[in-house]
Amino acid sequence: MGKSSAAAAPCRHVGAPPGAVVERTVEVLATLGNHPDLLSRFGISSSEYISALPAAIESLRGKMSASNSGRRAFLQGVLEYLVSQGVATSVVAPDYGEDTVYRVEVPSIGAVAVVQKGCPDGVHSSNKWKVPRWADETYLWWVCPSLKAHPGEHIAKGVNRLKAKFLSEDNDEALSGIIFHNETCGSALRPCPKQARSIEIDGRLVPPPCVYTMPARDSEGDSWNWNGEREVKFPEALLSIFGIGPDEAHVYTGFVGFQKKNADIIRTTISTRYGPARTSSHRS
């Protein structure tokens, strides 16, 4: 085991409640039904509270979570900024109700598919996607505002799920890379060590995203992108809007690699790069 999985990304959350406090809060919610005097102040009985609690929690989660429309607005804003800066020629957004896959036309690459997902530790956000037939490169973009875990911990969980999919799918189902970035990045809750390279998009200061190349499938080998040797083009194009030129894009692009140790064990490495001589990694 390498460093803590939090090291899979360069940033940490600030002010997020520790796990013990979260568990005590859960205990409070679960036992409030045993305090009828308190509940009566709000006009409900113990039995009403107990029966309504599951629906109330779901309602609260919906109100507190960023809406999908908000996540779409953030990601679409970044992608359309590529067009405004002449890096891309067009962005085709998905229709409502369809899988959230953006088609970005980049002259130096071709058609780039950007698959928007939520937090990477969920099955749907890591496994429920396909590489479009039209895509020259495909990226999974995790738009994750959750403070439940540090970004690197989220990423490590998602990569673990992607590993299983990578090892079981055909070559044309291999991702070109993954991106972790949303409006929380660079905020007081999630300070970014790349803050100095931030740009303004839709009135918001946006730092460069965490970008990682993914392995290409090679049935003959036992090591896939273990040292970050895979070359893809979209990270350089994306990072260029943050004033990061071709000569330094590689020091802002991380990588994910897999290595077969024996018949039963596939190792994983996640390396993040966030500036000259600034790297952090996690191996498992």
Could you give the dihedral angle defined by the CA atoms of residues 120, 125, 130 and 136, in that order, rounded to the nearest 10 degrees? -40
Beta bridge mates, 212: 178, 254
Q: Which of the two residues, 3 and 130, has the higher pLDDT score?
A: 130
Report yes or no on 4 lying in a domain. no
Q: Which of 14-23, 123-132, 146-155 has the lowest mean pLDDT?
A: 14-23
Report yes or no on 148 lying in a domain. yes
Range of the domain at 259: 9-283
Per-residue model confidence (pLDDT) at position 166: 84
Report yes or no on 62 lying in a domain. yes
| CB 271 within 8 Å of CB 255 | yes
Q: Which of 96-105, 195-204, 248-257 has the lowest mean pLDDT?
A: 96-105
What secondary structure does DSSP assign to 235-246, as a single string? Answer: HHHHHHTTT--T
For residue 67, how many other CB atoms are within 10 A of its CB? 10
| CB 282 within 8 Å of CB 241 | no
**Which burial class, exposed, middle or buried, applies to 25 when counting CB atoms under 10 A from its CB (0-12, 13-18, 19+)?**
exposed
Per-residue model confidence (pLDDT) at position 45: 92
Q: CA 205, 208, 212: angle at the middle one, nearest 5?
A: 155
Per-residue model confidence (pLDDT) at position 2: 46
| CB 82 within 8 Å of CB 90 | no
pTM of the complete model: 0.82
Q: Which of the four pLDDT bands, split at 50, 70 and 90, describes residue 61?
A: low
- Output the six-digit token pair for 150: 């540090």
Per-residue model confidence (pLDDT) at position 1: 40
pLDDT greater than 90 at residue 172: no
Per-residue model confidence (pLDDT) at position 223: 87
Per-residue model confidence (pLDDT) at position 127: 72
pLDDT greater than 50 at residue 66: no
Report yes or no on 35 lying in a domain. yes
Report the alpha-carbon distance of residue 135 to residue 113 in Å, rounded.
6
State how many domains the chain has. Answer: 1
| CB 155 within 8 Å of CB 275 | no
| CB 228 within 8 Å of CB 213 | yes
Mean pLDDT of 103-129: 87
**Sign of the CA dihedral running 35, 41, 47, 49:** negative
pLDDT greater than 90 at residue 188: no
Q: Which of the four pLDDT bands, split at 50, 70 and 90, describes residue 101?
A: very high
Report yes or no on 3 lying in a domain. no
Per-residue model confidence (pLDDT) at position 159: 93
Mean pLDDT of 86-97: 87
Q: Which of the four pLDDT bands, split at 50, 70 and 90, describes residue 229?
A: very high
H/E stretch holding 206 = strand 204-206
Report yes or no on 130 lying in a domain. yes
Per-residue model confidence (pLDDT) at position 240: 97
| Percent of the chain with pLDDT strictly greater than 70 | 88
Nearest residue to 215 via CA among 263, 262, 159: 159
| Percent of the chain with pLDDT strictly greater than 90 | 48
Report yes or no on 2 lying in a domain. no
Mean pLDDT of 219-242: 90
